A and B are shown apart, each in its own frame.
Chain A
Amino acid sequence: MAIRMLIAIACIAVALVAPFVIYPVLLMTILCFVIFACSFNLLLGYAGLLCFGHAMFFGGAAYIAGHILKTTSVSLEVAIAGGVLAAAALGAVIGWLAIRRRGIQFAMITLAFSQLIYFLLLQAPFTGGENGMQGIPRHQLLGLIDLRSNLSFYYFVLAVTAVAIFAFYRIVHSPFGEVLKAIRDNEARVESVGFDAEKFKLIAFTLSAGMAGLAGALKATVYQFATLTDVSWQVSGEVILMTLLGGLGTLAGPMFGAGIIVLMNDYLAGFGEWALIAQGCILLVVVVFFRRGFVGELSALTGYLLRRTRSRKEPSVPHQAIADEAA
């Protein structure tokens, strides 16, 4: 798969050069949402768990990391790690409570919890309530490196994103990942073979929460503030859209989806509600017509074309566009 290596190298090259062409904060926002979307993809695309309110991990970690940075003098990566751990811990607790239920009930429990978290954070004094947490300082990385310039911070965020994507890749392609996919497709069968499906799902949920927390903590340090929007249903809905737009269950899909949506939001920022309307239209079109998402459709198309050039005689069987549970 030399093509893939080439594409990856090209992407890295572009990423290294990008901040000289595009506003670094925008790029960093994309990177944060790439991590966020990967975390959601891990949960829904690979483990088959739909979590409404994934923003609770994203925003929660943003507040925790921000609070650590505002009240202590630990170095940057410790504060971010704090956010990640807090999100993972929250994920473990909520996951443990919610995992027993399946499908829509699981989704509804997670929704209830995210509303709970939202209102708790709204009322907690340290968050600053409706005004949000302002003025989060960017401490030094490792206690040494000053990253207060957005350009240098970009490379830090890029590095973290690369590590996160790599971790995601490794998780998904590990034996653990294979079991998750099997659980997604047919949980009963996995149980009958002797695996404790609930334990696997709980681990996946915790990992996903932690990863979402990483995205949130990073975002808090990029923007140097955290708001209730970060914990809101709006952000939860956005990550669902990003993942679907890019392609559920694909590796590159969420990155693509995150990029498109963040750029679109940025472009439409001055146009008020048009961002929401556009998101709605895109989601509708993707859900009704392009469920495999951009990356999914693209790989299906290339697969189809490759099959056609390889054997002219054999009629190609139309690939059914379903990245969901088997009916």
Chain B
Amino acid sequence: MFDGITPQLLFGQILLGLINGSFYAMLSMGLAIIFGLMNVVNFAHGAQYMLGAFVAWLALTEFGLPYWGALLIAPVVVGLFGMVIERLFLRPLQSLDHLYGLLATYAVALIVEGLITRKYGSTGLPYDNPMPYGIRLGFMVLPAYRLWVVAFSLVICVGTWLAIEHTRLGAYLRAASERPHMVEAFGINVPRMITLTYGFGVGLAALSGVLAAPIYQVSPSMGSSALIVVFAVVVIGGMGSIAGAIASGYALGVVEGLTKAFYPSAANVVIFLFMILALFLRPSGLFASRDEVR
């Protein structure tokens, strides 16, 4: 099991794990924000991540918009699309069992993935690396783009967390996640806040998609393969906890990367094993501060 593990390989796997972890962190953060406020597990999250990548690809091939522009445009476009979905399909279901909201998002995912596969085929589309050079760090040369992904995702995650925990707007979100009727009784238009928050979460997913495009290539199924893993991450971190989602995302990415190095056949399942373990040790997730009854 330990033969042929050089420091290079180890660090390479850790970096790979951090990269995957960056995506897990951003995606699970978006899911956690949406779940925290709306009690809906956004099954469309993977499809929205994929849409971000596709919008970037389309922007490049149809409009010549390079990566840096797509980084701004894609989240906005897909986020708006998300707000439309919320307004049309999720808001009417709000007062019902949250299973229905979940199923509605699953339905949207089916439709979106089906349509994209129909139009663009199921094989991956290439997206050029905007930073195709290396950066020397000590004894290793690391790909610049991948370092950028890790750094940028950290900024986004920490920034979002700070905004939620330390700003007035974040206070509204935290309060509405706890008692939406009460917040509305203070005169705040909570339905609109929900729509905007969903749009934000979707935008985060799309942003992740743009970041992913040069690494994983752009394919209609990229979302669904990531999504189930991200669910596991969110459950481990605590379903409404932002900090938990972020920390678990990075940690599990690294764990998965290391498992691939030492015990490759288990790499696919290690996160699920952790999820089952976490659900037994601490049912509300590792970071949740109160028992989630939902």
Contacts and interface: CB of A to CB of B under 8 A. Distances in A.
A115 B273 CA distance: 10
A274 B119 CA distance: 11
Nearest to A284: B107
Main SS of the interface on chain A? helix
Interface stretch (B7-15, B127-135, B202-210, B275-283): B275-283
Contacts of A105: 235, 239, 279, 283, 292
A279 B110 contact: yes
A247 to B, nearest CB: 14
B107 A281 contact: yes
A56 to B, nearest CB: 12
A324 B100 contact: yes
A113 B235 contact: no
Nearest to B268: A119
A280 B114 contact: yes
A288 B92 CA distance: 7
Given A115-B272, A240-B103, A102 B114 contact: no
B111 A277 contact: yes
B41 interface: yes
B268 to A, nearest CB: 5
A253 B293 CA distance: 30
Interface residues of B, number: 43
A116 interface: yes
B107 A287 contact: yes
Interface in A92-115: 97, 100-105, 108-109, 111-113, 115
Interface string A170-205: 000000000000000000000000000000000000
Given A104-B41, A284-B107, A111 B292 contact: no
A90 B69 CA distance: 51
B96 A102 contact: no
B283 A284 contact: no
A283 B107 contact: yes
B294 A104 contact: yes
Given A111-B231, A112-B272, A324-B99, A280 B265 contact: no
Given A123-B265, A237-B106, A273 B232 contact: no
Interface in A244-298: 244, 272-274, 276-277, 279-281, 283-284, 287-288, 291
A120 B265 CA distance: 10
A272 B122 CA distance: 11
A97 B41 CA distance: 22
Contacts of B279: 101, 105, 108-109, 112
B108 interface: yes
6 contacts: A108-B275, A116-B269, A119-B269, A272-B118, A281-B111, A283-B104
Interface of A: 50, 97, 100-105, 108-109, 111-113, 115-116, 119-120, 123, 233, 237, 240, 244, 272-274, 276-277, 279-281, 283-284, 287-288, 291, 322, 324-325, 327
Closest 3 A/B residue pairs (Cβ): A280-B110, A324-B97, A277-B114
